[in-house]
């Protein structure tokens, strides 16, 4: 049966975020000034047909307890093994998810599932090679990367009355100083995606305050996952949860979109171009293979040739990760170059893969033509085709494009909830939402505060503005109340496909946040 988590025992590390009673939180959660322009004054409105558009849940904002929870989460290192540097502290994803679950329990959420992934999930053929290799090299690779599923509302609610929200608590590498000056949060994960995760709870709280019958009519699932970053792309986090049935008619993936509803998500494939030649001393550079020059030539060639071949609306090309060596007095005969290729549909992905492979071959021919008469690069030019190979680290992942499929009911819902659409001509990005494409009778929205680039996600100085988090909480509240209002309430007892957890929840020690039995 689902279980409620006990609040953490108060100690030095947790005293700052002691939670107020739920009643007090409900009194303040949906009141006060709006967090951003467009939220204030969003009291009951009607559309052109006289139907209600939204209600006072739009005045949602984060409370001081929410601020403390976010600072707590930001202080926990949650870099997954694929991103982790050798000197980095071990990830504390168990603890982060536990603290998130305790905060959600104040709203009435119960735990359906909290466990590390089953190793069987890595057997899928589209699991990235880097993930499979890491799991083979590290016996405990999956142990510290659990995922959490929370539930609020009737366990017997049918899929049509279920909303699922997905947040990821793992981050990229580069732990940063954590701070909050009253307006802006700094820290790794502030915008991607611990800040949105906390704002999601604030939005749920406001929706329930505005519509107390919501938990009786609508079931809300929250997936708080690991394995989103580092190129894992949800293959052992979000995908197994969706396959186990933990999704709804409406699925919300909390990623930075500037408060605009994005109905598509690119997938990506990653190629490693490797040169395996012979080294040489710097005094006789022509006696070996110069992988540095060859890979540098290929990097430039691919950037020039592929750029006009891919419309930014269809995907992106990232040429990166060139490595041969670090010394100045040696010709490195071996090295590698990484190229990431994102695509908005399977058809675009297949076309891009062919063009990429053709471009690599064309680059090798161009290198040979340019350097066959060189005093120092002639051997490299002659042997380049046989010394170079392409290995796919990631390929064949699905993309999400629900713009056409969502026209039936999703677009009107978003309009009446006052959630603007992502511009059609603005490129999408890659996230775990790809695993909900093609689900029967289900639609997906990628929505969140801030911007991946402007808020320095994956870069130095990552931040999230409180006003943006408040604005996202408003949007969540509007979506939930509008969904509940518009979806017929059959008071059905037809069970959801995943009423009970497919994996029994592991018991958690309330003081440490660690699963029972773990050191």
Q: Token digits for 69? A: 């929870």
Instruction: Note whether residue 508 is domain-resident.
Output: no
Same domain for 436 and 384? no
Q: What is the CATH number of the domain that holds 62?
A: 3.40.630.10
Same domain for 158 and 255? yes
Per residue in 223-262, is it b (16+ CB within 10 Å) or e — as a string? Answer: bbbbbbbbbbbbbbbbbbbbebebbbbbbbbbbbbbbbbb
> What pLDDT was estimated at residue 50?
52
Same domain for 61 and 40? yes
Same domain for 55 and 159? yes
Instruction: Note whether residue 168 is domain-resident.
Output: yes
Distance CA 373, CA 382 (A): 10
Domain boundary among 347, 370, 394: 394
Interhelix angle 346-371/378-387, rounded to 10 degrees, is 150
Distance CA 267, CA 431 (A): 8
**Strand, helix or coil for residue 407:** helix
Same domain for 79 and 219? yes
Domain boundary among 344, 379, 394: 394
> What pLDDT was estimated at residue 508?
44
Instruction: Note whether residue 513 is domain-resident.
Output: no
Domain boundary among 374, 394, 414: 394
Q: How many domains does the chain have?
A: 2
Q: Token digits for 311? A: 């419309």
Same domain for 209 and 220? yes
pTM: 0.81
Same domain for 202 and 72? yes
Give 10-residue mean pLDDT values along the chain (519 residues): 38 33 35 36 47 56 98 97 90 98 98 97 94 94 97 96 98 95 98 98 98 95 97 96 97 98 95 98 97 99 95 92 96 98 94 97 98 97 98 94 71 96 92 94 96 96 98 98 84 43 40 41
Instruction: Note whether residue 514 is domain-resident.
Output: no
Q: Closest Cα to residue 61, out of 341, 510, 466, 338?
A: 466
Distance CA 483, CA 210 (A): 13
Instruction: Note whether residue 506 is domain-resident.
Output: no
**Strand, helix or coil for residue 445:** strand
Q: Token digits for 261? A: 């509803």
**Strand, helix or coil for residue 193:** coil
Parent domain of 354: 267-394
Q: Token digits for 498? A: 């995943």
> What pLDDT was estimated at residue 405?
56
Instruction: Note whether residue 211 is domain-resident.
Output: yes
CB burial of residue 11 (10 Å; 0-12, 13-18, 19+): exposed
Same domain for 184 and 325? no
Instruction: Note whether residue 9 is domain-resident.
Output: no
Same domain for 223 and 290? no
Instruction: Report how far apart, in Å, the C-alpha atoms of 434 and of each of 58, 127, 444 are.
Output: 29, 14, 9
Distance CA 176, CA 32 (A): 32
> What pLDDT was estimated at residue 88?
87
Same domain for 122 and 202? yes
Q: CB–CB of 211/484 below 8 Å?
A: yes
Q: What is the CATH number of the domain that holds 310?
A: 3.30.70.360
Q: CB–CB of 366/301 below 8 Å?
A: yes
Instruction: Report how far apart, in Å, the C-alpha atoms of 59 and of each of 10, 125, 205 are.
Output: 31, 46, 11
Q: Closest Cα to residue 13, out of 91, 73, 101?
A: 73
Cis peptide before 193 (omega within 30 of 0): yes
Same domain for 306 and 410? no
Instruction: Note whether residue 45 is domain-resident.
Output: yes
Same domain for 360 and 425? no
Provide CB contacts within 8 A for 174, sequence distance 6+.
188, 460
Provide CB contacts within 8 A for 187, sequence distance 6+.
71, 74, 75, 176, 177, 178, 179, 194, 462, 463
DSSP calls for 325-349: -S-SSEE--EEEEEEEEEESSHHHH
């Amino acid at each position: 049966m689902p279980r409620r988590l006990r609040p953490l025992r108060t100690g030095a590390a947790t005293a700052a975020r002691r939670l107020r009673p739920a009643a007090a939180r409900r009194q303040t959660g949906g009141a006060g000034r709006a967090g951003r322009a467009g939220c204030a004054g969003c009291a009951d409105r009607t559309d052109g047909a006289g139907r209600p558009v939204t209600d006072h849940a739009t005045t949602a904002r984060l409370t001081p307890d929410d601020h403390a929870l976010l600072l707590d989460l930001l202080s926990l290192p949650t870099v997954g093994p694929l991103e982790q540097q050798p000197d980095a502290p071990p990830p504390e994803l168990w603890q982060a998810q536990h603290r998130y679950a305790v905060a959600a329990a104040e709203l009435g959420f119960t735990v359906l599932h909290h466990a590390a992934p089953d190793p069987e999930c890595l057997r899928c053929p589209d699991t990235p090679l880097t993930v499979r290799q890491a799991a083979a090299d590290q016996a405990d690779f999956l142990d510290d990367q659990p995922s959490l599923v929370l539930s609020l509302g009737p366990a017997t609610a049918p899929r049509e009355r279920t909303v699922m929200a997905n947040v990821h608590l793992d981050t990229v590498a580069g732990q940063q100083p954590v701070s909050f000056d009253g307006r802006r949060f700094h820290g790794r994960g502030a915008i991607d995606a611990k800040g949105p995760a906390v704002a999601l709870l604030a939005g749920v709280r406001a929706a329930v305050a505005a519509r107390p019958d919501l938990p009786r009519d609508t079931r809300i699932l929250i997936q708080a996952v690991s394995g989103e970053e580092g190129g894992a792309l949800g293959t052992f986090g979000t995908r197994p949860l969706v396959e186990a049935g933990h999704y709804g008619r409406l699925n919300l993936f909390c990623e930075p979109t500037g408060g605009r509803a994005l109905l598509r998500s690119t997938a990506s494939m990653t190629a490693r171009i490797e040169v395996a030649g012979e080294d040489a001393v710097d005094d006789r550079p022509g006696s070996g293979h110069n992988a540095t020059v060859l890979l540098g030539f290929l990097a430039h060639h691919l950037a020039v040739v592929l750029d006009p071949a891919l419309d930014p609306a269809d995907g992106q090309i990232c040429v990166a990760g060139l490595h041969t060596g670090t010394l100045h007095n040696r010709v490195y005969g071996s090295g590698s170059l990484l190229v990431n290729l994102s695509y908005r549909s399977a058809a675009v992905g297949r076309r891009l893969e062919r063009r990429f492979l053709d471009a690599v071959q064309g680059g090798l021919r161009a290198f040979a033509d340019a350097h066959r008469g060189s005093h120092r690069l002639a051997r490299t030019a002659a042997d380049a085709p046989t010394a170079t190979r392409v290995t796919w680290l990631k390929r064949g992942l699905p993309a999400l494009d629900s713009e056409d499929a969502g026209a039936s009911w999703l677009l009107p819902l978003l309009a009446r909830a006052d959630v603007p659409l992502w511009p059609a001509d603005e490129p999408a990005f890659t996230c775990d939402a790809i695993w909900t494409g093609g689900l029967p009778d289900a639609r997906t929205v990628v929505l969140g505060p801030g911007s991946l680039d402007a808020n320095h996600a994956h870069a130095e100085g990552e931040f999230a503005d409180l006003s943006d988090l408040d604005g996202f909480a408003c949007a969540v509240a509007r979506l939930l109340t509008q969904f509940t209002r518009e979806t017929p309430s059959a008071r059905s007892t037809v069970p959801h496909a995943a009423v009970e957890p497919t994996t029994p929840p592991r018991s958690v020690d309330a003081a440490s946040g660690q699963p029972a039995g773990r050191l």
